[in-house]
């Protein structure tokens, strides 16, 4: 189960509430750390996701086959003409209700019910809490707050409770989120994440796919290390992994894979 993610998400929601409720009009308009989105767009993304979790829009007559990132854009676009206060009000109205919905997915029979998430793969419903914990951790601590984001505010340190579920979502989703990712990996490598949320995983090619297992394999040709927090940054291609990682072993194998990796 992903009950730890519900705990992380409640903490993240409280922190987001505190930050976005204090934004000035000028801060709302600043470019965020998420390419192409302003702070307004970033908060609208979070609020629209929560609204859809609590009060889903009617399904279209014809199924929509779009990448997950484009579907998120389509939720943000209708809010472009909203005022800052309307966006804030939507977030405050739905955020706690949405976490309650995600908490209900930790109980059977929903917990183990597998659902597709567009091009991101298929997951048991209890893992949706991990996805939202990742989304909020990344948008708050990478895209919104300094030093990478445009907003100067103080929040509690990113401990294992806050970042652990985000890292878990990234590790779990890595084999599903990109077609033919295995073509970029010629041999097994070990990923070591240090600090809160850390651990060791072996990433190995399996045809056109990859397989991720806990622990370090003796068959690995290289080891790549970074902090868990930095992994959220470079693993989503917000920044280049070379500025955050150290590599031992065959760096060419690591470079080809990490250049291709883009976790959503």
Q: Examine the domain organization and report whether 151 and 65 are in the same domain.
A: yes
Query: Which of these, 11, 4, 261, lies nearest to 137 by C-alpha position?
Result: 11
Domain boundary (101, 129, 160) is at 160
> Can you give the pLDDT at residue 63?
61
Question: d(Cα 212, Cα 205) in Å, to the nearest integer?
Answer: 9
Query: Which of these, 229, 240, 51, 8, lies nearest to 138 by C-alpha position?
Result: 229
Domain boundary (126, 160, 194) is at 160
Q: Examine the domain organization and report whether 233 and 123 are in the same domain.
A: no
Looking up residue 210, the CATH number of its domain turns out to be 3.30.1050.10
Sequence-separated (6 or more) residues with CB below 8 Å from residue 147: none
> Can you give the pLDDT at residue 248?
98
Look at residue 173 and tell me if it is in a domain. no
Q: Examine the domain organization and report whether 34 and 102 are in the same domain.
A: yes
Mean pLDDT, 10 residues at a time, the chain of 264 residues: 93 98 98 95 96 88 70 89 97 98 97 93 96 97 97 97 98 95 97 97 97 97 98 97 98 98 94
81 by DSSP, 3-state: which?
coil
Domain boundary (160, 195, 220) is at 160
Work out how many domains the chain is built from and give that number.
Answer: 2
Look at residue 74 and tell me if it is in a domain. yes
Query: Which of these, 142, 189, 193, 204, lies nearest to 164 by C-alpha position?
Result: 193
Q: Examine the domain organization and report whether 14 and 128 are in the same domain.
A: yes
Sequence-separated (6 or more) residues with CB below 8 Å from residue 149: 32, 33, 142, 143
Q: Examine the domain organization and report whether 123 and 188 are in the same domain.
A: no
Kind and range of the H or E run holding 261 = none
Tokens of 255: 């470079």
> Can you give the pLDDT at residue 72?
83
Look at residue 48 and tell me if it is in a domain. yes
Q: Examine the domain organization and report whether 187 and 140 are in the same domain.
A: no
Q: Examine the domain organization and report whether 80 and 22 are in the same domain.
A: yes
> Can you give the pLDDT at residue 62?
60
- Cα angle for residues 98, 100, 11 (degrees, 5° grid): 85
Q: Examine the domain organization and report whether 190 and 136 are in the same domain.
A: no
Q: Percent helix, strand, coil in the chain (nearest 5)?
A: 50, 15, 35
Residue whose token pair is 């389509």: 74
Look at residue 95 and tell me if it is in a domain. yes
pTM of the model: 0.94
Look at residue 172 and tell me if it is in a domain. no
Torsion of CA 240, 157, 34, 132, to 10 degrees: 110
Q: Examine the domain organization and report whether 200 and 150 are in the same domain.
A: no
At residue 200, what are phi and psi to the nearest 5 degrees? -130, 135
Determine whether 93 is exposed, middle or buried from the number of CB atoms within 10 Å of its CB (0-12, 13-18, 19+).
Answer: middle
> Can you give the pLDDT at residue 156?
97
Q: Examine the domain organization and report whether 126 and 225 are in the same domain.
A: no
Looking up residue 118, the CATH number of its domain turns out to be 1.20.120.450
Tokens of 99: 């976490």
> Can you give the pLDDT at residue 64?
64
Q: Examine the domain organization and report whether 129 and 93 are in the same domain.
A: yes
Look at residue 122 and tell me if it is in a domain. yes
Look at residue 175 and tell me if it is in a domain. no
Q: Examine the domain organization and report whether 142 and 25 are in the same domain.
A: yes
Write out the residue range of the structural domain in which residue 83 sits.
3-160
> Can you give the pLDDT at residue 74?
86
Look at residue 91 and tell me if it is in a domain. yes
């Amino acid at each position: 189960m992903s009950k730890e993610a519900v705990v992380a998400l409640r903490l993240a929601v409280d922190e987001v509430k505190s930050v976005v409720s204090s934004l000035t009009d000028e801060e709302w308009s600043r470019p965020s750390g998420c390419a192409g989105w302003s702070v307004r767009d970033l908060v609208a993304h979070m609020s629209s996701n929560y609204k859809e979790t609590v009060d889903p829009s009617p399904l279209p007559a014809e199924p929509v086959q779009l990448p997950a990132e484009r579907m998120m854009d389509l939720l943000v676009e209708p809010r472009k003409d909203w005022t800052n206060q309307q966006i804030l009000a939507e977030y405050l109205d739905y955020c706690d209700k949405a976490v309650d919905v995600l908490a209900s997915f930790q109980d059977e029979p929903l917990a183990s019910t597998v659902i597709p998430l567009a091009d991101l793969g298929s997951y048991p419903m209890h893992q949706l809490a991990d996805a939202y914990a990742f989304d909020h951790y990344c948008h708050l601590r990478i895209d919104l707050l300094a030093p990478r984001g445009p907003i100067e505010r103080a929040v509690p340190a990113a401990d294992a409770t806050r970042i652990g579920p985000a890292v878990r979502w990234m590790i779990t989703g890595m084999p599903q989120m990109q077609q033919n990712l295995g073509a970029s990996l010629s041999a097994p490598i070990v990923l070591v994440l240090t600090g809160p949320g850390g651990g060791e995983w072996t990433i190995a090619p399996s045809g056109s796919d990859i397989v991720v297992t806990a622990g370090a394999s003796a068959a690995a040709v290289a080891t790549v290390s970074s902090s868990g927090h930095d992994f959220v940054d470079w693993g989503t291609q917000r920044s280049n992994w070379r500025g955050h990682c150290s590599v031992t072993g065959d760096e060419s194998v690591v470079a080809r894979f990490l250049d291709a990796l883009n976790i959503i």
